[in-house]
Structure 1
Amino acid sequence: MSAERDLTRLLAGMRPELRPGRYVFTTVDGPAPAGLAPVVTVAETEGLTMVVRQEDADAASLAYDYVAGWITLRVHSALDAVGLTAAVAGALAEAGLSCNVVAGFHHDHLFVEHARAEEALGVLTALARRF
């Protein structure tokens, strides 16, 4: 299946899915600690940012201050598609929800405040139904 670029089809077909678990953003100097399996990594000048399961961060004694729920937009979005991130972030912002977006090759992944993850899922589902 080819990646979608049309914004209306992206929004109508996003099929948001809340993944189980609690995820945290943490950072280390150098590579990820042995045995740790980050779901996202970003190499920054200040260190390696990782998104990991909260229990894995706790086991590795890694510091964090934000606990997130992970929502995947199941639509296969093209990396050069225009407007999906803005529409999703705008709908969540209107509901007072923060959102950290990571684009994968096939899907977009949203990390939202864990305590409000179900609410965020509802906002996204309602957004998709409008299209």
Structure 2
Amino acid sequence: MTGERDLRKLLHGMRPELRPGRFVYTTVPDGRVPVGVAPVVTVAEQEGLTLVVPEAQAVASGLAWHFEAGWITLRVHSALDAVGLTAAVSLALTDAGISCNVVAGFHHDHLFVPYARAIEAVQVLEALAVESA
């Protein structure tokens, strides 16, 4: 399965799912993930390794963090070369005043939005899906 490329089908079928829990962004300058920490996202940068981890793991490991997020998965299987999904989702959330950090996985796109507005973000995305039918 290569994933969907048709923007209308992607938007209509995105089925946003709010994952349980609170996730935080942190960084480890030496690039070593602490014992007991299971990142859901990692990004290697020159300044260090960015981790997105469950908040409880960050607290337990003594990691300082920034940005408490809700994790939304778009359940549609989008092709990695699909055009417009990120832009359309970002625009809808922008219009609602909700920031969003997008991570593309092989099968799905994942959105990290402010934790306090995560439910609202799902509602915005559900409305976008309905409008795209």
TM-score when normalising by structure 2: 0.96
2:83 matched residue in structure 1: 82
CA distance in 1, matches of 2:115, 2:53: 13
SS at match of 1:90: helix
2:98 matched residue in structure 1: 97
The runs of 5 or more residues in structure 1 that have no matched partner are none
1:19 matched residue in structure 2: 19
- Which residues of 2 match residues 1-131 of structure 1 at below 5 A? 1-29=1-29, 30-131=31-132
- Deviates further, 106-115 or 24-33: 24-33
Report the Cα offset of residue 35 of structure 1: 2.2
Q: Let me know the Cα RMSD of the aligned residues.
A: 0.7
Identity over aligned residues, as a percent?
Answer: 70
Task: Render the CA deviation track for 1:12-69: whole Å, top value 9, x for unaligned.
Answer: 0000000000000000022211221000000000000000000000000101121000
Amino acid at match of 2:18: L
SS at match of 2:69: strand
Report if aligned partners of 2:71, 2:111 keep a CA contact under 8 Å in 1.
yes
- Deviates further, 30-39 or 72-81: 30-39
Report the Cα offset of residue 111 of structure 1: 0.2
TM-score when normalising by structure 1: 0.98
The size of the alignment, in residue pairs, is: 131
Amino acid at match of 1:24: V
The runs of 5 or more residues in structure 2 that have no matched partner are none
Amino acid at match of 1:85: T
CA distance in 2, matches of 1:118, 1:34: 31
